[in-house]
Chain A
Amino acid sequence: MKKIIRVGAVAAVSALALAACASAPEEETGATAEATTGTATETVDFKACMVSDSGGFDDKSFNQSGYEGLTRAEAELGIEIASAESTTDADFAPNIEAQVAAGCDLIITVGFLLSQATVDAALANPDVHFAIIDDLADNDYDGTTDADNIKPITFDTDQASFLAGYAAAGASQSGTLSTFGGMNIPSVTIFMDGFLAGANYYNESNGGDVKVLGWDGKDGQFTGDFSDQSKGQNVTEEFLSQGADVVMPVAGPVGLGAAAAVQSAGDAWLIGVDSDWTATTDYADIVLTSVLKNIGNSVFDTIAETIDAGFSTEPYLGTLENEGVGVADFAEGAVPEAVLAELDAIKAGIIDGSISVDVS
């Protein structure tokens, strides 16, 4: 036993030593160093910062999308960035304060849970610019943003999920769709509203009788959190046993549990949310489409705009029209050609307002 440990130790040390044998890079003088960074991207004297909610930047959901926008801005715009993950709600305010103290020019907070902390910090630091994702920063509900240095970034996700609902209704063999959420909160149920409205619209215009399980426009199926994948699997198996053949989970990583259930069933489709799940998950072959919420783009655009044209508190609203929301490509052959052909007209109708995405 001792011998094995010794041999192992020698092997480990020599591996380390070999790994350390590369030649040193040439010393860079200050001037050339500056020149090389200058050629890669024009460096801008701007510091953008981001605070996550307790999901963290690896939540495969909106924190992650937002963070991708931030790192893209760092790479393409040559700005400085800093980020702070919150592990509990008690971290929100200190994280924002630390970023104010670190001299951030623009602080982006992710999610409605940070709303109050963002407003407090914005009122206390009127010279710092803030943006908040998925919230209007309107905590007294008077219809206006509570501080005049906050830019709200929100999304009309129901426009995109309406299209997904319509196409899913056309694709369903059993005439039963299903959806569930992580929690009954507006940024989740807006997906489900659009999905239900899209399916209803399909029924109206094609005389169909497609049902949607899991959401009735007011209440429905929720797993209670955004982390427990096994709950997503259970709920989905229940839906499948009731005859559903399309499932749209709106619960961040919990949706991966739904994907596992759909995959083992074999004859059902999954609709991804937030990002294109054919690219971001391992379940590309069962994904019918994804309802896209381009948070990353909105973050990048907000930063780019602030650098170019100065900070504006003009709310950003992601819609089908400005491609802030959308649907990904449909799985080949899953949706009938006739239905696919109608989608463009419906999209135009939603954009010009002639089709309402509200649940009637």
Chain B
Amino acid sequence: MSAETQTPAENPEAPAPEEPRSRQVLREIAESSSMVVFMAIVASMVIGGILVILADEAVRESAAYFFSRPGDTFAAIGDALGAAYSAMFNGAVLNLGADSFAGMIKPFTQTLTLATPLIFAGLGLGIGFRAGLFNIGAQGQLLIGATVGAYLGFAFELPWGIHLLLAVLGCALGGALWGFIPGILKARRGAHEVIVTIMLNYVALHLVAWLLSLEAFQREGSDNPISPIVAETAQYPKILGVQFNLHLGFLLALACAWGAWWLMERSTLGFRLRAVGANPSAARTAGMSIGTATIITMVIAGALAGLAGSAPVLGTQKFLTDAVAGSIGFDAITVALLGRSRPLGIVLAAILFGGLQASGPSLQVNAGLPVDIVVVIQALIVLFIAAPPLVRWMFHLPSPAHEKEVAA
């Protein structure tokens, strides 16, 4: 289980009192874990850039005669990097080449759309991490949630509003059920949640694949494992008009982020969960039930992961396949760690990952780069985040004066 550093905001007594105010602020920024996160992102973008250069054919060709005409190599490097970073920017933030305002901001709305399921699932995992549970099962919880939600969406005809509400609740309930199983197994029988959740991912995947082989989950007249399209009454409405994919699920995700913050920081229940996570023995001595806390945490985490499943089936893809979860459940682990398990951090990390994912098509089509570069950058971010001393050493950041360790 990874240890984490508390940010100076939560740890105000950290800096030495004799430092002048301005230096103190600088020092707080440099020491903070957010600075490490930011520099980790910068470092991985730079290394990603080096890989782009190495992979570029024009660079390799011109490097062969580097000493007779070095200018060619630098020009080729510039072209390769320029194409890659501008494709990323155009694909994830603003499309400067578009001829309308809508076309210009479309990439950012796409980023937010792709971030939506990551926010949901990341929040669930973050709550688990803070309560001391390393839940690897978001993928399975998401799949079951998506299955229940999609089924309610395509199999029933209900009026507007009620149908969507029911389908969204179905997603949450499906995920909650899949989270409840490892929760109760751990609470009552001590089964380790990592193993149980990983195995339940496989159970969920094959369960969905089997369901999709049944007539009830297939489209009429076809044997392909694709469910019918979810009824329009159960789809998330598009919040910025039909030309954008951004749907109501994003606002729901933000609401959940606020809810998760309130739960963990303001409610008694959240205090209990954090206490159990920080020190189970102390929490037990103080009269808290570890088992109940475990079950509650896993149910909440599962429900949020299940809601992540609503983003594809009710928002973007609108039908169920066994690949509907993609790698959301696993990316969400990274998002939760990157966001330091805090709701605001998770929202920002999810938007970063959404942006990286949104830049994929543009990188491939406009810059001719393999999509794997995005995965490499994501992996590098994780690598640097996991090793704060490495990042501090690389950028000569000072070590925190008082590093306060808490169990994540």
Q: Chain A residues in contact with chain B, CB under 8 A?
A: 17, 19-25, 49, 54, 82-85, 87-91, 93-95, 97-99, 101-102, 112-113, 115-116, 139, 141, 183-186, 189, 224
Contact = CB atoms under 8 A, between A and B. Distances in A.
Interface centre among A17, A21, A83, A89 (most CB of B within 10 A): A89
A244 B187 CA distance: 49
Contacts of B321: 89, 113
B65 A25 contact: yes
SS class, residues of chain B in contact with chain A? loop
A98 B65 contact: no
B219 A87 contact: no
Contacts of A21: 65, 67-68
A49 B114 CA distance: 24
Contacts of B141: none
Contact of A24 (B72, B245, B366): B72
Nearest to B61: A25
A24 B358 CA distance: 39
Given A24-B65, A87-B375, A102 B326 contact: no
A170 B30 CA distance: 76
Interface stretch (B34-42, B262-270, B283-291, B311-319): B311-319
A49 B65 contact: no
B64 A84 contact: no
What is the interface residue range for chain B against chain A? 35 or more
A173 to B, nearest CB: 35
10 contacts: A85-B371, A87-B371, A89-B323, A90-B326, A91-B361, A94-B358, A94-B360, A113-B323, A183-B225, A185-B225
A112 B224 CA distance: 8
B362 interface: yes
Nearest to B71: A24
B323 A54 contact: yes
Contacts of B319: 116
B224 A185 contact: yes
Contacts of B206: 224
Contacts of B368: 82
Contacts of A186: 222-224
Shortest 9 CB-CB contacts between residues of A and residues of B: A88-B326, A98-B361, A141-B221, A20-B66, A24-B69, A24-B65, A84-B364, A24-B68, A98-B365
A21 B68 CA distance: 7
A315 B157 CA distance: 35
Contacts of B254: none
B388 interface: no
A93 B209 CA distance: 22
Nearest to A102: B365
Interface centre among A21, A98, A115, A141 (most CB of B within 10 A): A98
A77 B314 CA distance: 43
Interface of B: 63-69, 72, 91, 110, 114, 206, 209, 213, 219-226, 229, 245, 312, 316-319, 321, 323-324, 326-328, 357-358, 360-362, 364-366, 368, 370-371, 375
B68 A23 contact: yes
Contacts of B224: 112, 185-186
Nearest to A21: B67
A102 B206 CA distance: 38
Nearest to A186: B223
A20 B63 contact: yes
A184 B65 CA distance: 54
Nearest to B323: A89
Contacts of A90: 114, 312, 316-317, 326, 357
Contacts of A20: 63-67
Given A20-B65, A87-B327, A89-B317, A141 B222 contact: yes
A49 B361 CA distance: 12
Given A20-B63, A84-B361, 14 more contacts: A19-B64, A20-B64, A22-B65, A23-B65, A49-B365, A84-B364, A85-B364, A87-B327, A87-B375, A94-B110, A101-B365, A184-B225, A186-B222, A224-B209
A85 B319 CA distance: 21
A251 B114 CA distance: 31
A98 B353 CA distance: 19
B67 A98 contact: no
Nearest to B206: A224
Given A98-B361, A98-B366, A185 B110 contact: no
Contacts of A185: 223-225
B361 A95 contact: yes
Given A21-B67, A22-B64, A186-B223, A89 B361 contact: no
Contacts of A83: 364-365
Nearest to B91: A98
B323 A84 contact: no
Contacts of A116: 226, 229, 317-319
Contacts of A101: 365
A184 B215 CA distance: 13
Interface centre among B64, B357, B361, B375 (most CB of A within 10 A): B361
Contacts of A54: 323
Nearest to B64: A22
B365 A84 contact: yes
A81 to B, nearest CB: 10
Given A94-B360, A141-B221, A87 B326 contact: yes
Contacts of B365: 49, 82-84, 95, 98-99, 101-102
B307 to A, nearest CB: 16
A89 B312 contact: yes
Contacts of B65: 20-25
A89 B68 contact: no
A123 B261 CA distance: 42
